[in-house]
């Protein structure tokens, strides 16, 4: 029997009209619970539900409060999505959602992983003013996440950044990793041309900075596969949805990692 989920849409009262959909931890969990800001991918052009609601339902079943963020997309460019992501972290820690929240993490896929990385490193862009001590997560889960824009084809980067191309390195989060970055779980598949090299770069940069990191590479599945369970979350089909049972075991490995890091109790 499928578990029921309490989904609550709540608009964050900020000038940027940020929106979060909340999936609280299942009712069988009590007391303070960890929380995760969910940042779907989509190349800053869409927010696929299987990387939003799909992840949130999985996290809720683990006893984690999930906050799915609808951050600003193109034609809005940086720092807009980063502002939204920071506001999302602040909302989880200080908001009026009524939940008892413990440690706060982030999960990001593809472009959402770039946002997660910028949160992890606490990066403040040179085009921003008045930003000091931005919020940072306590742990991170990176699914085929963008680490370094130099690992993407130049035409893709030019289309993505437009007139922000001069700050390309600032927007490559793996270039800014140091020992202050949170413990991180990284995964990708061997059939994912952008995902695999970026996952390897994340792992290299984190390990070089002595940040606790765990990497999993699975043989099957393309970029954007999400949970790899083949389910059309939100009732919306997507070209990247596919069922790869072995790749889907990343969620089991990640749950074990969350227990090892003390985010979840045994």
For 86, half-sphere exposure in the C-beta direction (CA atoms, 13 angstrom radius) is 20
DSSP designation for 41: -
DSSP assignment letter at 229 = B
User: In sequence order, which residues have a C-beta less than 8 Å from that of residue 197 and are 6 or more positions away?
Assistant: 151
Whole-Å CA distances, 241 to 89, 140, 225, 237: 28, 23, 5, 7
Greater model confidence, 11 or 93: 93
Query: Is the distance from CB of 194 to CB of 165 less than 8 angstroms?
Result: no
| Whole-number pLDDT of residue 234 | 76
Pairing state between β 213-218 and 184-189: parallel
**What pairing do the DSSP bridges indicate for beta strands 19-23 and 65-70?**
antiparallel
**H or E element: which one contains 81?**
helix 80-94
Tell me the percentage of the chain whose pLDDT exceeds 90: 83
Q: Write the pLDDT tens digit of every residue in 196-228.
A: 999 999 999 999 999 999 999 999 999 999 999
Instruction: pLDDT band for 71, please (50, 70, 90 cuts).
Output: very high
Tokens 């089991």 — which residue? 252
What's the confidence (pLDDT) of residue 266? 63
| The pLDDT of residue 12 is above 50 | no
Q: Is the pLDDT of residue 4 over 80?
A: no
What is the spatial distance between Cα 177 and Cα 121, in angstroms, rounded to a whole number? Answer: 6
Q: Could you tell me the two tokens for 21?
A: 């959909």
* Region class of 239: left (phi > 0), else alpha (psi between -120 and 50), else beta: alpha
The architecture of the domain spanning 16-124+134-261 is 3-Layer(aba) Sandwich (3.40)
What average pLDDT does this structure show over 168-172? 98
Q: In whole angstroms, give the CA distance from residue 156 to residue 27.
A: 44
CA nearest to 112, candidates 186, 32, 52, 187:
52
How many whole angstroms separate alpha carbon 120 and alpha carbon 54?
23
CA pair distance 261, 145, nearest whole angstrom: 21
Q: Where are the beta strands (DSSP E) in 48-99?
A: 65-70
Q: Tell me the per-residue pLDDT of 81-97, one tens digit each, with 9 for 90 and over.
A: 999 999 999 999 987 78
Query: Which pLDDT score, from 0 to 100, does residue 18 have?
Result: 52
Name the residue ranges covered by the structural domains of the chain: 16-124+134-261
pLDDT band of residue 19 (cuts 50, 70, 90) is: confident
Order of strands, sheet of 101-109, starting from the edge strand that comes earlier in the sequence: 8-11, 19-23, 65-70, 33-39, 101-109, 139-143, 184-189, 213-218
């Amino acid at each position: 029997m499928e578990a029921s989920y309490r989904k609550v849409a709540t608009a964050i009262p900020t000038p940027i009209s940020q929106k979060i959909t909340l999936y609280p931890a299942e009712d069988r969990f009590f007391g303070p619970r960890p929380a995760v800001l969910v940042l779907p991918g989509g190349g800053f052009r869409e927010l696929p539900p299987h990387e939003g609601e799909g992840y949130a339902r999985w996290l809720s079943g683990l006893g984690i409060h999930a906050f799915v963020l609808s951050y600003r997309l193109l034609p809005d460019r940086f720092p807009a999505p980063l502002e939204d992501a920071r506001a999302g972290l602040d909302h989880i820690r200080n908001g009026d959602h009524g939940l008892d929240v413990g440690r706060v993490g982030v999960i990001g896929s593809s472009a959402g992983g770039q946002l997660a990385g910028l949160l992890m490193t606490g990066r403040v862009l040179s085009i921003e003013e008045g930003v000091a001590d931005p919020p940072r997560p306590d742990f991170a889960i990176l699914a085929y996440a963008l680490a370094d824009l130099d690992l993407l084809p130049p035409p893709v980067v030019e289309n993505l950044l437009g007139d922000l191309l001069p700050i390309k390195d600032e927007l490559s989060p793996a270039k800014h990793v140091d020992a202050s970055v949170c413990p991180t779980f990284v995964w990708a598949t061997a059939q994912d041309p952008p995902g695999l090299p970026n996952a390897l770069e994340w792992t290299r940069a984190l390990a070089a900075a002595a940040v606790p990191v765990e990497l999993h590479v699975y043989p099957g599945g393309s970029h954007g596969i999400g949970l790899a369970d083949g389910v059309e979350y939100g009732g919306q089909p997507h070209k990247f949805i596919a069922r790869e049972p072995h790749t889907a075991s990343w969620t089991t490995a990640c749950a074990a990692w969350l227990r090892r890091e003390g985010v979840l109790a045994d």
